[in-house]
Each structure stands twice: as structure tokens, then as C-alpha cells.
Structure 1
Amino acid sequence: MHRTFVIGDIHGAYRALRQCLERSSFDFEHDHLICLGDVADGWPETRACIDKLLRVKNLVHVLGNHDFWTLEWMETGMMEDLWLEQGGKATVESYNHQPPAGHVRYLKRAVPYYQLGQKLFVHAGIDPKLPLEKQSRHTLLWDRNFARTAYDLYIKEISGKLTSFEEVYIGHTPIPFSNPIQSCEVWFMDTGAGWEGVLSMMDVDTKEIFASDPVPLLYPGITGRKRR
């Protein structure tokens, strides 16, 4: 029997990714892993992260905004100042300025969203008023309105439904908790691995959580990406 896992924003934290995979006893041949985007930028091991993910036979990578920036650099050489300040410098250095073709193909295969039955996996969020095929790239990769609405309901302890899906899994918006949280049908999976938090991975069916140590402890003397 295979298991299906979802993992939050990794941001170059290979040591955290390795801990999550080991602590979940992840089966690289049979288990299914859904990455919610932003494998790149922040901590110094983006290249090692993608090398590890390329070993997963059943992998879906949902495109994140940092993946978008990274792919743009890989294909064109463009390095926007905003991207470099937000962790891109660490990504470029992890590749010694020369990304391998396999890593370019990996990010080009990333999908804007992924639907598994009545479960939706997306990096930033959606506009609930629009069908999936009408969602803009900005909404899927950058927008925080959906996350803000769901988080506000969580704080106010208000239940209900925001979408027609059974469950919606998002990254992008880090939460100040060491475990993913659920608001209505929305699961927040970014537990701050790009900053001072942990990387979280969850069994979609059982909701069992496997988390890394706090990422700064795994990279002593190194800071993650800058806050804006």
C-alpha cells in the first residue's frame, strides 16, 4: 500500500527535507509526494533538494513563485534584485552559476495546481469565485487573499466552507506554528522552513505530521532569506 504525502515550502533546506523523508519512512519507489512549491531560495542547498526529489518515483511539484524566479534565471540568466534578496543568491551559489539540464526540466514540469479527487493542492491560493482553469498565475503563485481569509477564520474559530473542494492544501504563507493548521477545508502547510520555523510533511489520508528540527539549528551560522 502506497501513502500520499504533502510537503510545505522547502526553500533550499535540504537537511530539513532529509529529516522529513527519514522520519516518515518515505518509500521512494511507491509513496506519492506532492510538493507545494518553493523548493528554491533561502537556505544554501537548493541543488541538493532537487537532486533528492528527483529520486521520488511518484512526485508532483506545484510551481511556487520562487520556483518561477529560479526557472527564469536557469533559462535566461536573468537575476532580479528582488529575487536575489529573497533567497535567489543562495540558489545561484548552490549551482555555482551552472544549473544542470535535469534541474531545468524538473522545474519546467511543475504544475500550476494539482487535483486529487476532491483535494486541491496549490502554492499560494485561488479565487473561489473562478473555476480552476480561469485562475491567474498571480493568484496561484503570489496572492495571499485566500490565505488571509482562511487564517482570519481560524483565529476567530469560525468554521464553514470557502470552496467546493473537500480539502485545499496551500504553502506560500508561513504560519507561526510548528505544525500545519486547518481552517475550514484549508490546510496551511508552510510552517516557516524558509525562516526560523520547521519543514512539515503530512500524510494526506491519516493527517500524521512529520516535521524537521527548526531549520536554523540545521544550518548554524547561516541565515535564511530576508523578510520584506
Structure 2
Amino acid sequence: MPKTFVVGDIHGSYRALLQCLEKSRFNYQKDTLICLGDVADGWPETRQAIDELLKIESLIYVLGNHDFWALDWMDTGYANDTWLIQGGQATIDSYEDKVPADHFQLLKSALPYYIHRNELFVHAGISIESPIERQGIQTFLWDRSFAQLAKKKHPQKLTSYNSIYIGHTPINKNTPIQYGEVWMMDTGAGWSGRLSMMNIETQECFVSDPVPELYPGIEGRKKI
């Protein structure tokens, strides 16, 4: 039976992505992978990570704030200083001279959020003060207050969704944490942590090695 998985912020860690896909025995033709955004920036293999994602027949890609920056560079050639010091230079270097059209299209067509069977997938967070349809992209890309509120109110639920999966706010744990209905999926792959992937039906997690161990001698965003 086809399975559905969700993966946290990859941040150029192609080798960690491969480990998660292999450990989960992910089927590229039958299974679905929901990415919570931020495939770009930090570790040196953004291009390779996107190449791998594009092999997946059923891929749901949710836009992250780093993807938003990378998309602007892909579209205009402009790289702002904030993006560069937050890992953008590694993305530029991974492409060398040219960005493939399908890489640009993946980020351009990325979803602001995704709802599946009353389960919400969003990069950063939402507001509980208004319907999601009325909220702006900046909340979905940048918010951290929702993650903080979920932790504060645990085990109380914040919304009517069965589950909510978010990235963006890294946690200091080796596996995802659940607060109420909120799963925090970013286990720090963009820094010194690991990449985590979860089967949403069984809640079984598949976790990479610490990403710095997969890129010896490369600082990534650890140096910031």
C-alpha cells in the first residue's frame, strides 16, 4: 500500500536526504513525500537534493523562507546580503553556471501550505486568530510564534486540524516532537543536527546521521 511521508528542512543536505529515503524504504513510484520547505541554503548540495526530489512521482512541495530567497535569485540573478550569509552562497555555488528549468519550476510552483485529510503542512506556522485562507504568505514562511504557543499550551490543542506539521523552528532533539496536534519536524539539519522524515500514518521516524558528519571539513551554517 502506498505510504505518505513528511520531511523537515533539508538545507542542502543531500546526503542526509538520501539516508532518510533509504532508511524508510521510500518507493519513488508509489509513495508520497511532503516537503515542508527549505531544501535550499546551508550545506553544499542544494542542486543534488532538488535533483533527488524531482525523481519522486508524488511530491508535494511547500514553500520555505529560504526557498523564497533562492527563487528570487533564480528569477532575477540578485542575491541579497542577508540571504548570502544565511546559506545562500552555498546554493549559488551548487549550481555553478546554470539553474535547470525544472528546479526553478519546483520552487515557483511550491504551495503556501497543504491540507490532506484535515492534516495541515506548512513551513513555519499560522495564526489561530483567522481562517488560514485569509492569512498571508509571510506568516507561512516566517512565523515562530505558533511553534512557541504550541509548546506553551501542550497538551492542549490550538486548532481543529487533526495534525499540523511544521519546519522552520529547529528543535534540540534527534527526532520530531509533538506538542498538542503540532509536530515540529526541523531537527536541525541546517545547522549541527539531523534530518528527520516521518510516516504520517504510523508516526515512525527515520533520521539521518548528524549532518556535519556527512560533510566533514565543511562549516555550513554552523559557523554563524
TM-score by length of 2: 0.98
Distance 1:226 1:97 in 2: 26
Aligned CA distance change for structure 1 residues 86 and 226 (closer, same or farther; 3 Å): farther
Say which of 140, 159, 164 aligns to 1:163. Answer: 159
Give a deviation string over 1:152-188, Cα, whole Å, max 9, x none. 34xxxx4111111010000000000000000000000
| Partner residue in 2 for 1:33 | 33
Aligned CA distance change for structure 1 residues 227 and 112 (closer, same or farther; 3 Å): farther
| Partner residue in 1 for 2:124 | 124
Q: Indicate conservation of the 8 Å contact 2:5/2:199, yes or no.
A: yes
Distance 1:213 1:181 in 2: 18
- Report runs of 4+ in structure 1 exceeding 3 Å deviation: none
How far 1:151 moved relative to its partner? 2.5
Say which of 196, 208, 214 aligns to 1:218. Answer: 214
Q: Indicate conservation of the 8 Å contact 2:12/2:45, yes or no.
A: yes
How far 1:226 moved relative to its partner? 5.3
TM-score by length of 1: 0.96
| Partner residue in 2 for 1:206 | 202
Distance 1:77 1:23 in 2: 37
| Partner residue in 2 for 1:52 | 52
Please provide the CA RMSD for this pair: 1.0
Say which of 169, 176, 186 aligns to 1:173. Answer: 169
Distance 1:24 1:193 in 2: 17
Give a deviation string over 1:47-81, Cα, whole Å, max 9, x none. 00000000000000000000000000000011000
1:188 and 2:193 aligned:
no
Q: Indicate conservation of the 8 Å contact 1:87/1:226, yes or no.
A: no
Distance 2:99 2:92 in 1: 8
Distance 1:81 1:97 in 2: 20
Mean Cα deviation higher: 22-31 or 101-110: 101-110
Q: Percent identity of the aligned residues?
A: 60
Q: Indicate conservation of the 8 Å contact 1:85/1:226, yes or no.
A: no
Mean Cα deviation higher: 143-152 or 189-198: 143-152
Distance 1:176 1:74 in 2: 32
Distance 1:86 1:170 in 2: 20
Distance 2:97 2:176 in 1: 34
Distance 2:65 2:74 in 1: 14
Gaps of 5+ in 2: none
How far 1:83 moved relative to its partner? 0.2
How far 1:97 moved relative to its partner? 3.9
Give a deviation string over 1:6-27, Cα, whole Å, max 9, x none. 0000000000000000000000
Gaps of 5+ in 1: none
User: What is the one-letter code of the residue matched to 1:64?
Assistant: G
Q: Indicate conservation of the 8 Å contact 1:127/1:146, yes or no.
A: yes
Aligned 1:9-158 pairs, distance under 5 A? 9-153=9-153, 158=154
Distance 2:72 2:80 in 1: 10
